[in-house]
Amino acid sequence: IEKGGCGDPGIPSYGKRTGSSFRHGDTLTFECQAAFELVGERTITCQQNNQWSGNKPSCVFSCFFNFTTPSGIILSPNYPEEYGNNMNCVWLIISEPGSRIHLIFNDFDVEPQFDYLTVKDDGISDLPPLGTFSGNEVPSQLASSGHIVRLEFQSDHSTTGRGFNITYTTFGQNECHDPGIPINGRRFGDRFLLGSSVSFHCDDGFVKTQGSESITCIMQDGNVVWSSAVPRCEGMLAVSNTTLWIKHSSANQTYIFLFRFQTEVNYDTLEVRDGPANSSPLIGEYHGTQAPQFLISTGNYMYLLFTTDNSRSSVGFLIHYESVTLESDSCLDPGIPVNGHRHGNNFNIRSTVTFSCDPGYTLSDEEPLVCERNHQWNHALPSCDGVQLLFHTFHLESSHDYLLITEDGSFTEPVARLTGSVLPPTIKAGLFGNFTAQLRFISDFSISYEGFNITFSEYDLEPCDDPGVPAFSRRIGFQFGVGDSLIFSCFPGYRLEGANKLTCLGGGRRVWSAPLPREQDKKEE
């Protein structure tokens, strides 16, 4: 903060700010993008005590709005935070006569049975609704028959949820909607008129698990639709209870790097063994989000077994592997924990490195790493854990009074259900990128005791994935955390199709506020 000034208060998500000077007496004015309402002070002034006269306002999605642009997003009010009670919202998407509207649901979480979203073909009275949705299952894509779509959202007086994030685009009557490009895949063909075909190909290391490699825009029951679903490109371990052997023909060792890891805690596990069989020495068993950055074998075989149960699933994992030859007197670089620091850069045999965490995080293992004679570190890289609940005292009436802890708002499947007088161990919540851990205490009408004393530390939100850069364009922005924005622009001779600004949204799943835009040659228009 400059002497005689205030700190930068920031810019609200989905908003903009007028004014860039923060000296005494300077004023900043805020406004929101279309369809968003300003909550808080529109204007704030830097005061003599180096404090702003008010907090930065926020931009909340409106409960009523008519959309007339060719593409956009529709959010539940306050998304990705929970929407309010007793809501009755209506949104209209009005496109050019003769066009149709395509909806993609990026996220969906409302109270089952009691809160619901209805999507209608407005202006066509004899057609049933395109769909009525409730719960937390993300709906499939929808396409309208006419050029107006009406969305109605209703919530009751009790439980709420994260809400929804919907992207819409418009397209002609005699063409199909943009089918998109599968994650970890490519698309060939950009014409979506009736009779046109496009094909897809999965990137190396990924396989098609559903959908078709080629789809055609056809007429079916009076509607213009794609002949089949777009394929999904998934990793080789896309099914449960699967074994993978990694072998190199040389005597080199095998090195695997875990780019991303998230499975159902305690029930869906990845087992890694140092050798060719399930009887080989165990390197480790991993579940949840607690997995090392990389693993290495002592020989040219590595055995991986992925096992899941019959209930919940999660994002899974992405692994890269390669053959390496180690120097005779050292271990591999052990890496640095996310939100942490490493102390020591000597990786020779018998050398030691230690780690520490940023404020608000706790190191999972204080023991130093030691490079052993087999070129292995003596234990896995520690992690810096978030939302950690530490119990100082705990005494409730056993079986009748209890404390529930959850991280997704669902107390039917809590992280923990605690009762009695045994002091619980430290509990870690927030491992899956949700905003908060929620605690619910329930007691009956009879015996009571001293209760509990708990302290907690906060954590940073997981980032969005890198969305990439469209061909023939440039991107401003390299940060992918919640609230960070990326700006896209075209090379000369090209026109941007889609949103030029993407913002990383929070919630249970990290998603960008709109699909990655495309570039179209102006000569093709």
pLDDT at 434 exceeding the cut of 50: no
Position 165 scores a pLDDT of 92
Task: Tell me which of 125-139, 254-268, 463-477 is least confident.
Answer: 254-268
Q: Say if CB 154 and CB 87 are below 8 A apart.
A: yes
More confident residue, 114 or 252: 114
**Is residue 352 included in any domain, yes or no?**
yes
Query: Phi and psi at residue 242, in whole multiples of 5°?
Result: -115, 140
Q: How far apart are CA 469 and CA 71, in angstroms?
A: 19
Task: Please list, in sequence order, all residues whose beta carbon lies within 8 angstroms of the beta carbon of residue 521, skipping any fewer than 6 positions away.
Answer: 472, 493, 494, 495
Find the CATH number of the domain harbouring 516. Answer: 2.10.70.10
Q: Which of 385, 408, 438 is the last residue of a domain?
A: 385
**Is residue 5 included in any domain, yes or no?**
no
Q: How far apart are CA 451 and CA 162, in angstroms?
A: 31
Q: Is 466 exposed, middle or buried (0-12, 13-18, 19+ CB in 10 A)?
A: exposed
Q: Which of 385, 406, 435 is the last residue of a domain?
A: 385
Find the CATH number of the domain harbouring 420. Answer: 2.60.120.290
If you search the block for the tokens 């709109």, which residue do you land on? 514
**Is residue 461 included in any domain, yes or no?**
no
Position 467 scores a pLDDT of 83
Task: Please list, in sequence order, all residues whose beta carbon lies within 8 angstroms of the beta carbon of residue 169, skipping any fewer than 6 positions away.
Answer: 70, 71, 101, 102, 104, 177, 178, 498
Confidence of residue 341 (pLDDT cuts 50, 70, 90): confident
Structure tokens at 47: 């005061």
Task: Tell me which of 183-192, 325-334, 372-381 is least confident.
Answer: 325-334
Structure tokens at 165: 């994030």
For residue 217, how far is the Cα from the chain centroid? 32
Element (H or E) spanning 131, and its range?
A: strand 131-133
Highest mean pLDDT among 4-18, 85-99, 193-207, 466-480: 85-99
Position 385 scores a pLDDT of 62
**pLDDT > 70: percent of the chain:** 80
If you search the block for the tokens 């990924």, which residue do you land on? 206
Burial track 212-242 (b if 16+ CB lie within 10 A, e otherwise): eeebebbeeeeebebeeebbbbbbebbeeee
Compute the C-alpha angle 33/30/498, nearest 5°: 25
More confident residue, 41 or 238: 41
**Is residue 7 included in any domain, yes or no?**
no
The reply to whether 38 and 89 lie within a common domain is no
More confident residue, 142 or 506: 142
Position 293 scores a pLDDT of 59
Count the Cβ atoms, other than its own, within 10 Å of residue 61.
23
If you search the block for the tokens 């008519």, which residue do you land on? 66
Report the amino acid identity of residue 248: H
**Is residue 424 included in any domain, yes or no?**
yes
**Is residue 466 included in any domain, yes or no?**
no
The reply to whether 49 and 162 lie within a common domain is no
pLDDT at 357 exceeding the cut of 70: yes
Task: Tell me which of 220-224, 273-277, 286-290 is least confident.
Answer: 286-290
Position 240 scores a pLDDT of 42
Confidence of residue 124 (pLDDT cuts 50, 70, 90): low
pLDDT at 433 exceeding the cut of 50: no
Q: How many domains does the chain have?
A: 5
Confidence of residue 115 (pLDDT cuts 50, 70, 90): very high
The reply to whether 354 and 258 lie within a common domain is yes
Q: How far apart are CA 373 and CA 92, in angstroms?
A: 68
Position 254 scores a pLDDT of 60
Q: What is the pLDDT of residues 208-252, one digit of tens each?
A: 767 889 999 998 877 788 898 888 776 554 334 445 555 444 445
Structure tokens at 430: 């927030």
| Average pLDDT score over residue span 323-344 | 74
Q: Say if CB 266 and CB 230 are below 8 A apart.
A: no
Mean of pLDDT over the chain = 80
Q: Is 38 exposed, middle or buried (0-12, 13-18, 19+ CB in 10 A)?
A: middle
Identify any residues that bridge with 322 across adjacent strands, giving them in sequence order. 255
Position 28 scores a pLDDT of 94
Report the amino acid identity of residue 121: D
Q: How far apart are CA 283 and CA 378, in angstroms?
A: 11
If you search the block for the tokens 């063909």, which residue do you land on? 189
**Is residue 3 included in any domain, yes or no?**
no
Position 382 scores a pLDDT of 80
Task: Tell me which of 57-71, 174-188, 391-405, 406-420 is least confident.
Answer: 406-420
Q: What is the pLDDT of residues 455-492, one digit of tens each?
A: 875 544 567 778 888 877 788 877 777 667 888 888 77
Q: How far apart are CA 116 and CA 135, in angstroms?
A: 8
For residue 415, the enclosing domain spans: 388-456
pLDDT at 294 exceeding the cut of 80: no
pTM score of the predicted model: 0.46
Q: How far apart are CA 24 and CA 51, in angstroms?
A: 9
The reply to whether 448 and 508 lie within a common domain is no
For residue 85, how far is the Cα from the chain centroid? 25
Q: Which of 385, 402, 430 is the last residue of a domain?
A: 385
The reply to whether 378 and 292 lie within a common domain is yes
The reply to whether 199 and 136 lie within a common domain is yes
The reply to whether 56 and 87 lie within a common domain is no
**Is residue 482 included in any domain, yes or no?**
yes
CA torsion sign, 138 to 510 to 225 to 128? positive
The reply to whether 228 and 87 lie within a common domain is yes
Count the Cβ atoms, other than its own, within 10 Å of residue 72.
21
pLDDT at 141 exceeding the cut of 60: yes
The reply to whether 417 and 477 lie within a common domain is no
Confidence of residue 431 (pLDDT cuts 50, 70, 90): very low
pLDDT at 416 exceeding the cut of 70: yes
Q: Is 331 exposed, middle or buried (0-12, 13-18, 19+ CB in 10 A)?
A: buried
The reply to whether 190 and 117 lie within a common domain is yes
Structure tokens at 150: 């009406």
Q: How far apart are CA 56 and CA 345, in angstroms?
A: 43
Structure tokens at 280: 């080989």
Report the amino acid identity of residue 342: R
Position 427 scores a pLDDT of 76
More confident residue, 41 or 325: 41
Compute the C-alpha angle 141/142/144, nearest 5°: 160
Q: How far apart are CA 443 and CA 66, in angstroms?
A: 48
Q: Is 271 exposed, middle or buried (0-12, 13-18, 19+ CB in 10 A)?
A: middle
The reply to whether 53 and 197 lie within a common domain is no
Position 9 scores a pLDDT of 86
The reply to whether 77 and 186 lie within a common domain is yes
Structure tokens at 391: 């119990």
Q: For 300, which DSSP code?
A: S
Task: Tell me which of 105-109, 220-224, 280-284, 480-484 is least confident.
Answer: 480-484
**pLDDT > 90: percent of the chain:** 19
Q: What is the pLDDT of residues 311-320, one digit of tens each?
A: 777 777 777 6
Task: Tell me which of 87-96, 186-195, 297-306, 459-468 is least confident.
Answer: 459-468
